[in-house]
Every structure is written in structure tokens, then in C-alpha cells.
Amino acid sequence: MPRTLDERVQFDTRASRPKHALVMIYDIEGFSAFFNQPDVQYYVPKFINRVSNAISIIIYGGEDYWGAKPSTMHPLLRPVHEKFLGDGALYIWLPPTNERDFGSEFIPILCNRLWNLQNSFSRLRKKCSEDIPIVELPKNVRFGLARGTVYELTNRKTREREYIGFCINLASRLQK
């Protein structure tokens, strides 16, 4: 627990100018029940790592091992911000430098890949059961995507960046 104001998160007094963004939030459905099983420390990290790895392959490219037939995915535009949320994560993309928008291919390809993972999540679960043989695994992953304006906040001490904006809240609600 912080003892003084200096130890708490403090942002610069002014946010960035508004920036056009795409926000994605994913959530592992049924994570609380999964987390409340015996010996949680042995299998929750393995499961989270497997799901996180699948999302990374969708974004950064690699071998799709959960699909009906494995395929190699090419890398997409890199997000400017990633944040683990305990039972999912937040990703924020800004258009490429000197561009006003994302181009015609990025968002449809991202949506298609996420849709395919969601529809093939049972295959991912099966792969996880090789490492986690006893427990009941979550049955689904949900995605929320929203476009809109974000503002960048900078931590005074660490210079780390965080983002705020209605589209972040909307993406969170849409994944439900």
C-alpha cells in the first residue's frame, strides 16, 4: 500500500491529443469457476499462457495450431499497447505513422482470425488438456472490438503510457 502521494500512480497533468484507435479486449469465459478448482497454482498459468500464445500468433504471426488444418499466419499491424487483465487482455492499435486509418485489410483479417479462434476454441482446450489433464477448462473465449478516440496518459514517475477512452469501455462491454 502506498504510504505517500509520491508512491501512487500520478499522470502528467495533460492527456495527449485525441487519437483514432482500434481496441480489442478478450475475456476467458468461465475463468472464475476454473480458478476456484483445487491446486490452481499448477495449471492456471499454463492455460493462460496457451491462450495468450494463440492471441500472439493471431497478431504477430506464426503457426495456427488450433484450426481445422494448421496454417501459417502473417504478422499484422503491431498494437501500441497491451495489458494483461487477469482473465484476458486489452490491445490498442493506432493507424500506421502518417496514416489516418488502418487500411482496408487489417480489421477484416483481425476479425476473421479472432472469429476462427473463438469457433475453434475446443481444439485449443484439447491441446491444453495434454498439459492440464484433470481440471475443467474454460469453454470459450470472447472478444470485443471497438473503434474510437483514445487519449494517452503518461505516468509521471515511470513514463509508462496508459490509455483512456469510451471505445475501451465499449470493447469491454461488447465481449460479453
CA angle at 71 for the pair 65 and 77, rounded to the nearest 5°:
95
CA angle at 9 for the pair 6 and 14, rounded to the nearest 5°:
105
Q: Which three cell numbers stand for residue 54?
A: 494463440
Spatial contact of 139 and 158, defined as CB atoms under 8 Å apart = no
Rg (C-alpha) for the chain, rounded Å, is: 18
Alpha-carbon gap, residue 58 to 168, rounded angstroms: 20
Q: Which tens digit of pLDDT belongs to each residue from 38-94?
A: 787 888 888 899 999 999 999 999 998 887 787 899 999 999 999 999 889 999 999
Q: Which tens digit of pLDDT belongs to each residue from 96-140?
A: 988 888 888 999 999 999 999 999 999 998 888 888 877 788 999
- Global pTM reads 0.89
